[in-house]
Amino acid sequence: MSTAPIASRERLASSDRPATVPLMGLEFSALSEGDTIEYVLDNVAGGRGGWLCTANLDIVRQFRGSAAVRELVSRASLIVADGMPLVWASGLQGTPLPERVAGSTLVVKLSAAAAAAGASIFLLGGNPGTAEAAASKLAEQNPGLHIAGTVCPPFGFEEQPDEVARIERLVLDAAPDIVYVGLGFPKQELLIARLRAQSPNAWFVSCGISFSFVAGEVHRAPALVQRVGLEWLHRLVQEPKRLARRYLVQGIPFLFVLLWSAFASRVGRLAR
């Protein structure tokens, strides 16, 4: 379970919803990684489902520019900052978030905590065979972890009602406590919004490419590179064709927009 300090645990226990920090209109839960894990498992133990959205810079960019994205993401129970630029912006704004809470790290650490708590997990998404490989690795790392199931939807499944219904049945029949959904944004969020209606007691975790990291198909940046906010560059080197537009054309310009917004917000607050 979490190693969060006692004061933090008491704070979480005293409120149904954690305090939030707004960044360009998106409300981020002011939770550390340990707090987040504890919050999810406390809710699992109480039979309360939810949705943990791990939002990065690109999601904030899309949130700012699309009413449909704003409506979708606002359904999440918790939104955590999966990116150092968001942590930097919160500090510049004068409302610092505790730390980055990365979806790829959560899949590993939340699974370890789930094993200790007797909670089950389900892996949905990834490339063909990746969810199974990731599940096998997690089970190997955490003896006693209950893998309730895995499924890798075929490409274009969202346009196939029969396939969506099959996924719903698989998750419903497995009755997992935690469902990791790794399909990329916003496809995974759209599916989560639908699955939550069928499995209201489960916690759904948006986790993007995380299964590939766990299975060893894609290598994560070293810890130091992650801490200084350059994991995006490590990924860009590995997948330049897929990620160049997102990181270089869209991401870097929007980072300056975000930082300027955070600075202006702080100045405006101090001037009042």
Q: Does 1 map to a domain?
A: no
Residue 17's pLDDT is 81
* Residue 258 main-chain phi, psi, to 5 deg: -65, -45
CATH code for the domain in which residue 195 is found: 3.40.50.2300
Q: Does 50 map to a domain?
A: yes
Residue 203's pLDDT is 98
Which of 52, 103, 39, 75 is closest to 197 using CA atoms?
75
CA 69, CA 250: separation in Å to the nearest integer?
17
Hey, what are 195's tokens?
């699955």
Per-residue pLDDT in tens (0 to 9) along the chain, 272 residues:
333 333 333 444 434 789 999 999 999 999 999 999 999 999 999 999 999 999 999 999 999 999 999 999 999 999 999 999 999 999 999 999 999 999 999 999 999 999 999 999 999 999 999 999 999 999 999 999 999 999 999 999 999 999 999 999 999 999 999 999 999 999 999 999 999 999 999 999 999 999 999 999 999 989 899 989 999 899 999 999 999 999 999 999 999 999 999 999 999 888 87
Hey, what are 102's tokens?
């990365």
Q: How many structural domains compose the chain?
A: 1
Hey, what are 134's tokens?
């990731």
Q: Please state, in angstroms and as integers, the Cα–Cα distance from residue 167 to each residue in 24, 104, 174, following that order.
A: 34, 23, 11
Which of 89, 94, 105, 80 is closest to 29 using CA atoms?
80
Residue 12's pLDDT is 46
H/E element, 68: helix 67-73
Longest dimension (CA), the chain: 57
- State the pTM of this model: 0.91
* Residue 247 main-chain phi, psi, to 5 deg: -85, -45
Hey, what are 7's tokens?
């004061």
DSSP per residue, 129-144: THHHHHHHHHHHHSTT
**Any bridge partners for residue 147, and if so which?**
121
Q: Does 20 map to a domain?
A: yes
Answer for the pair 130, 157: CB distance below 8 angstroms, yes or no: no
Q: Does 33 map to a domain?
A: yes
Which of 98, 99, 96, 68 is closest to 265 using CA atoms?
96
Q: Does 234 map to a domain?
A: no
Residue 7's pLDDT is 34
Q: Does 247 map to a domain?
A: no
Q: Does 10 map to a domain?
A: yes
CA 9, CA 119: separation in Å to the nearest integer?
20
DSSP-derived secondary structure letter, 220: P
Task: Write out the residue range of the structural domain in which residue 146 sits.
Answer: 6-215
Q: Does 265 map to a domain?
A: no
